[in-house]
Structure 1
Amino acid sequence: MENRGIFTLDGITGMLIATVLLLSILVGLTVWGLGVQQGSAANFYQIQNEKEIKMISTENATHKIDVK
């Protein structure tokens, strides 16, 4: 085990590969999240018959109507 080098995968090279991989995952998830947020911000909805909404009911989703 005398073949230790600074540019092996458990040295600087491995650290740089891991850092670049983590930063690229971070950038990808950030871009994806911003796209989802912009898509949701442009999707407006209106609630109809507010008085008929029950606290626990599976029919509550029918009161939401997309305006767009």
Structure 2
Amino acid sequence: MNGGYFSLNGLVGFFIAVVLLLVIVVIFGISAVNVQKREATNYYNIDASQAKMIDSSNANYYELKTKE
């Protein structure tokens, strides 16, 4: 059979591609939710009085708060 509906270039290939993309979207979505849950309790302080608009030393003014 030369390029029928059920070859990998036809409907079956289309459904495989769609399922693969949906699996990738679900994996990235679950990963994003897990990162958000983990970082939602990561509180920090920024000393904005010393930070400049564009400066590589701004990371020095970032301080993680400890959990009480």
Question: How would you bin the TM-score normalised by the shorter chain?
Answer: 0.7 to 0.9
Identity of aligned residues (%): 38
Deviation at 1:51, TM superposition (A): 2.7
What are the ranges of 5 or more consecutive residues in structure 1 without an aligned counterpart? none
Contact 2:3/2:9 (<8 A) preserved: no
User: What TM-score results when the alignment is normalised by the length of structure 2?
Assistant: 0.74
What are the ranges of 5 or more consecutive residues in structure 2 without an aligned counterpart? none
Query: Which structure 1 residue ranges, 4+ long, deviate > 4 Å from structure 2?
Result: none
1:35 aligns with 2:34: yes
Structure 1 or 2: more helix by fraction: 1
Aligned-residue CA RMSD in angstroms? 1.9
The number of equivalent residue pairs is: 66
Bigger relative contact order, structure 1 or 2 (CA pairs below 8 A, ≥6 apart): 1
1:13 aligns with 2:17: no
CA distance in 2, matches of 1:15, 1:35: 30
Max Rg structure: 1
User: What TM-score results when the alignment is normalised by the length of structure 1?
Assistant: 0.74
